[in-house]
């Protein structure tokens, strides 16, 4: 290379550097701590965000130009949604009428953020012949109308990708449509992916209950509802290979769901990861959802988001079986909770604003409805109590042969026309109600942040004393409502034992169990919702009151005369007719008696 060539190259480089320094546009100075200039933009206004990680992006449609982020807001009375022109993505979703437990206790007037792009991810990736199109990497122009935002991105080829958001005047559903029909001939493969990840924030009092956040879904092929385990301490995964109607991220009392409209997801990979060392972002829910590219090409990539409370009266109308996101109870108890408790609770809410009084009235209604069963059970116990002296005489005569005592006792019942199961059936009939309440109350958002007496929130445990240590199976606090429930259960057990005669031949001492069971439940329910403990406390008091009232109306002398008349009639007719169950019991007792005799008569082998 000669001297002139070298000189020319140096001059050209000097000119380029000079132009870059003096004439090229300067990159704006960015403040990394800048926030949204207006927290509540006016209708149709564009809000600018200056943040060095998100305010600029290289647009594939506008060659190497730098684009500022512009935010827009969709909102109604229930929800506020902020979206961005960068990626046409959701920035945040705020539930306007709810608070976190921390803000509720501190009386801070703020909504609850159910989605926040600072910690959460929602993105769509579309495969093309050249590469994947990541919607979050595109910049869009926007147009806003009443309740709607239209985003358009122009690709280098001149073709467009469109995204639309639509919010109804009320409710928690957000329409989300992707229109890529202009690039249909460039879309490759059979599948596109949606990546949805949420880092669950602690919004409730009980961190262990909040860590039970999970992913629910509905399988179309067999209409089967399923979910990841609600295990609060281990990683749960599932690979769904069947088509799916919807996928939902379920927290304790809130829900985010994605529902394809007119199409289905083809498969999904789901992961739930607890963050045991983090008390803020306590769990991560991650879903990689796959859809059909054929739906994209045909313009069927339309979705509905649900961002809202996990309230059965609301979610049951969102999509097929979407109401199953609320764990009302076990399947065999669903008719009780769905058609009795939930409508009854909704009705009482329209009358009472105080939820403590509502629970009291609810107990009175349920107990009144079950009163005939309670009365029948008491009468059965009264009959057993009248026969107690004869049963005691049988035991004294036979001795320690439990099978023989039981056999003779059953014979006595037959002679006077008493069905020993008549007292058990009414009690068993009330068990579904108790079990339904046990399942329903911990999942009932209606009680959330409703106070009563010393309980600031009936949806979680009331804590009158915080212990400096943790008691195994009990916790590090003392719930007063749980203690009251335990005391009332012990009182009922004591009262019941006084009016219940001893039952010879029973393998379990039922009178002792009446004292042991409440103590066990005290440990189990110390961390359960205060509203549930209060329900059982009032229920026990009402039951004792009903027993005392019934006792005044039941004439045991009259019952005794009826039993004597039955004895005479049965004896005159040649003996009582035995039911199949009685015959079964008698056969079993005879078999037991013969087994015992054979065991006694069999000589022991010498060692």
pLDDT, tens only, 145-189: 989 999 999 998 899 999 999 999 999 999 999 999 999 999 999
Q: Where are the domains of the chain?
A: 28-326, 334-592
Structure token pair of residue 261: 């409209």
Mean pLDDT of 299-313: 93
Backbone torsions φ then ψ of 77, nearest 5 degrees = -70, -20
CATH class of 28-326: mainly beta
pLDDT band at 439 (very low <50, low <70, confident <90, very high): confident
Q: Is the pLDDT of residue 386 over 70?
A: yes
DSSP 337: I
The 3-state DSSP composition of the chain as helix, strand, coil percent (nearest 5) reads 40, 25, 35
> Which of 284, 281, 282, 301 shows the shortest CA–CA distance to 292?
301
- Give whole-number Cα distances, 365 to 35, 191, 341, 368, 539, in Å: 53, 55, 11, 5, 11
Assess contact for 123 and 134: CB atoms under 8 A.
Answer: yes
Residue pair 383/349 in contact by the 8 Å Cβ criterion = no
Residue recorded with tokens 């010879």: 504
CB atoms within 10 A of CB 567: 15
pTM for the predicted model, two decimal places: 0.77
Least confident of 130-134, 372-376, 474-478: 372-376
Average pLDDT over residues 42-68: 41
Report how far residue 69's alpha carbon sits from residue 62's, in angstroms, rounded to the nearest whole number: 15
What is residue 202's predicted lDDT score, i.e. its pLDDT? 93
Mean pLDDT of 27-39: 37
DSSP-derived secondary structure letter, 447: G
pLDDT of residue 110: 83
> For 531-571, how does the pLDDT look when each residue is reduced to its tens digit (9 = 90+)?
999 999 999 999 889 888 888 887 777 877 877 777 777 77
Residue scoring higher pLDDT (292 or 44): 292
pLDDT at 484 over 80: yes
Task: Report the pLDDT value the prediction gives residue 284, as an integer from 0 to 100.
Answer: 96
Closest listed residue to residue 93, CA positions, set 202, 153, 174: 174
Q: How far apart are CA 283 and CA 210, in angstroms?
A: 9
SS3 state at 67: coil
Q: By the 8 A CB rule, do 245 and 263 touch?
A: no
Among 4-13, 172-181, 223-232, 437-446, name the one with the lowest average pLDDT. 4-13
pLDDT of residue 89: 95
Please report, rounded to a whole number, the percentage of residues in the chain having pLDDT higher than 70: 79
pLDDT of residue 506: 54
């Amino acid at each position: 290379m000669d001297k002139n060539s070298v000189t020319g190259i140096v001059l050209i480089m000097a000119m380029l550097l000079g132009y870059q320094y003096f004439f090229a546009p300067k990159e704006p100075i960015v403040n990394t701590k800048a926030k949204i200039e207006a927290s509540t933009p006016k209708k149709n206004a564009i809000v600018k965000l200056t943040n060095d990680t998100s305010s600029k992006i290289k647009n594939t449609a506008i060659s190497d130009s730098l684009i500022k982020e512009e935010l827009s807001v969709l909102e109604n009375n229930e929800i506020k949604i902020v979206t961005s022109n960068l990626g046409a993505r959701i920035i945040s979703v705020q539930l306007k009428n709810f608070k976190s437990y921390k803000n509720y206790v501190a009386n801070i007037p703020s909504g609850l953020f159910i989605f926040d792009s600072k910690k959460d991810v929602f993105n769509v990736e579309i495969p093309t012949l050249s590469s994947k199109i990541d919607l979050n990497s595109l910049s869009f122009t926007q147009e806003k109308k009443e309740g709607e935002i239209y985003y358009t991105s122009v690709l280098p080829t001149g073709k467009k990708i469109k995204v639309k958001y639509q919010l109804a005047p009320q409710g928690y559903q957000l329409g989300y449509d992707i229109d890529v029909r202009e690039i249909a001939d460039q879309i490759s493969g059979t599948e596109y992916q949606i990546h949805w990840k949420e880092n669950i924030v602690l919004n409730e009092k009980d961190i262990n209950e909040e860590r039970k956040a999970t992913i629910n879904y509905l399988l179309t092929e067999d209409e089967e509802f399923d979910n990841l385990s609600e295990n609060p301490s281990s990683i749960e995964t599932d690979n769904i290979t069947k088509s799916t109607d919807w996928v939902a991220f379920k927290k304790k009392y809130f829900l985010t769901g994605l529902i394809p409209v007119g199409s289905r997801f083809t498969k999904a990979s789901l992961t739930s990861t607890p963050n045991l060392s983090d008390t803020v972002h306590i769990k991560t829910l991650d879903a990689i959802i796959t859809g059909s590219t054929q739906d994209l090409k045909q313009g069927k990539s339309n979705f509905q988001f649900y961002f809202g409370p996990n309230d059965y009266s609301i979610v049951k109308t969102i999509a097929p079986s979407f109401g199953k996101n609320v764990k009302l109870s076990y399947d065999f108890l669903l008719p009780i909770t769905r058609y009795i408790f939930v409508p009854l609770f909704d009705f009482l809410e329209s009358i009472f604003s105080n939820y403590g009084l509502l629970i009291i009235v609810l107990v009175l209604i349920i107990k009144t409805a079950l009163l005939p069963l309670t009365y029948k059970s008491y009468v059965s116990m009264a009959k057993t109590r009248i026969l107690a002296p004869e049963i005691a005489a049988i035991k004294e005569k036979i001795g320690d042969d439990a099978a023989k005592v039981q056999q003779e006792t059953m014979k006595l019942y037959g002679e006077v026309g008493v069905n020993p199961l008549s007292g058990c059936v009414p009690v068993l009939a009330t068990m579904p109600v108790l079990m339904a309440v046990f399942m329903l109350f911990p999942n009932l958002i209606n009680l959330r942040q409703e106070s009563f007496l010393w309980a600031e929130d009936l949806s979680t445990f009331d804590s009158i004393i915080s212990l400096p240590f943790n008691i195994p199976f009990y916790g590090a606090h003392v719930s007063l409502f749980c203690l009251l429930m335990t005391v009332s259960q012990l009182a009922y057990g004591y009262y019941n034992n006084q009016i219940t005669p001893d039952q010879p031949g029973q393998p379990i001492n039922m009178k002792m169990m009446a004292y042991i069971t409440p103590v066990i439940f005290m440990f189990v329910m110390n961390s359960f919702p205060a509203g549930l403990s209060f329900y059982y406390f009032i229920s026990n008091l009402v039951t004792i009151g009903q027993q005392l009232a019934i006792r005044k109306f039941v004439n045991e002398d009259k019952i005794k005369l009826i039993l004597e008349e039955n004895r005479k009639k049965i004896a005159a007719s040649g003996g009582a007719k035995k039911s199949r169950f009685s015959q079964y019991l008698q056969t079993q007792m005879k078999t037991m008696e013969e087994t015992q005799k054979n065991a006694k008569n069999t000589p022991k082998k010498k060692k």
